[in-house]
Amino acid sequence: MESDGLEEFDFSQPLHYALSQLNADLYAGIEQEPHFETVHFPKPASLSAMAEEDDDERPPTTNEIIDDLVEKFDNYPKIVTTMMQRGLLKKRQQCRKCDRMMHLRRRKNCYEWRCRTKDKRGDCSSCSIKFGSWFEYTKLSFKTIFSFLIMHCKNCSTSHMANELKLSTHTVNETRKVVYDLTDKIASKYPRIGQNQGMVYIEVIRIEPKKANDFMYTILAGQEANSNNCFAVVMSDEMPSTIEKVKMEKVNSHSSVSMIKTVNENFTAYASQSATFFDESKVYSNPSDMFFTNLRKNHPESALNSEQAFQSWFNDQVVRKTEGKRMLEKCVEELRTYTTS
Ligand SMILES: [Zn+2]
């Protein structure tokens, strides 16, 4: 195993720590090309110490954290430090074999965690720096996965993302599933809609198969009349008892519910016979704001493979509608929940 020779160095000692900082400062003022050869890698222990620092008088806003991360895209050690400081990566890791605390080590152009055997002759265990965070589900670099998340929140198309990020369509689709894990979690934490006993619109929507082999799905969707709080649930069937069950899970029982249809034609794209027509285009000038209308459209082919994938696509739409421009912030905030569980 390669060694940087510094694992026994005690960086909690002020002088040692100061020396390591001095070393870092030599590079701080120099304009660097974003290549790993010229990026300064702090010693693992000093990176750990920096990650523990909390000298901010006020905690940064999520937007400030995002700006900070984007600025450090090309500097792996700095982005790792910031991600640890902000709770996006674990800053401490416990060995799964012996329960002792692990230490960071540098391996080539990245850091990883390891636990040394008691006789210091080898490793008891080691793991990726991504372990215990959302990032462990992807092999993409931090720069690429953050860019992916930003573009996903901005609703970029798969082909655009594939081009910009130099990924295959397959990888874009696979990475979307990783992002869907985030939006699934966010959507699952939303309370029932209609909390303020206001008016709630609900619609039964049939999604017709695009190709002969696709399934037909029916969903129940709902939105508060005076806010963007909403839900969309894939149903196993269209039985009144099933609709009632989803309604009880998703809508406050004290709200007044109005069954609507947002398509004014008698074809099977809507399912509720007793619904009143609701023209979303009269309410929203921007087509992207039309929640019910948009649920019928643009399902990616990969979403149609399974009910879970389809539900994830709807959860993403629900988070998009609920959060609006705050979607990226909400996602970054949710990233922190992975490192604490
Ligand atoms: Zn161990």
Domains in the chain, please, with CATH? 1-132 (no CATH), 199-326 (3.30.420)
Judge whether residue 26 has pLDDT over 60: no
Instruction: List, for residues 151-199, the tens digit of each pLDDT value.
Output: 999 999 999 999 999 999 999 999 999 999 999 999 999 999 998 878 9
**How far apart are the C-alpha atoms of 44 and 74, rounded to whole Å?**
18
Instruction: List, for residues 205-245, the tens digit of each pLDDT value.
Output: 988 777 766 778 899 999 999 999 999 999 988 888 999 99
Centre of ligand 1 from the C-alpha of residue 96, in Å: 7
Judge whether residue 278 has pLDDT over 60: yes
Centre of ligand 1 from the C-alpha of residue 126, in Å: 8
pLDDT band at 107; cut points 50, 70, 90: confident
Q: Which of 184-188, 228-232, 300-304, 310-314 has the lowest mean pLDDT?
A: 300-304
- Percent of the chain with pLDDT strictly greater than 90: 57
Centre of ligand 1 from the C-alpha of residue 255, in Å: 55
What phi and psi, each to the nearest 5 degrees, are found at residue 300? -70, 150
Centre of ligand 1 from the C-alpha of residue 99, in Å: 6
Centre of ligand 1 from the C-alpha of residue 119, in Å: 12
List, in sequence order, every beta strand (DSSP E) within the chain: 103-107, 110-116, 123-128, 199-207, 217-224, 230-235, 256-261, 276-277
Query: Which residues is 233 bridged to in the sheet?
Result: 220
Centre of ligand 1 from the C-alpha of residue 100, in Å: 6
Instruction: List, for residues 4-23, the tens digit of each pLDDT value.
Output: 443 444 444 444 444 444 33
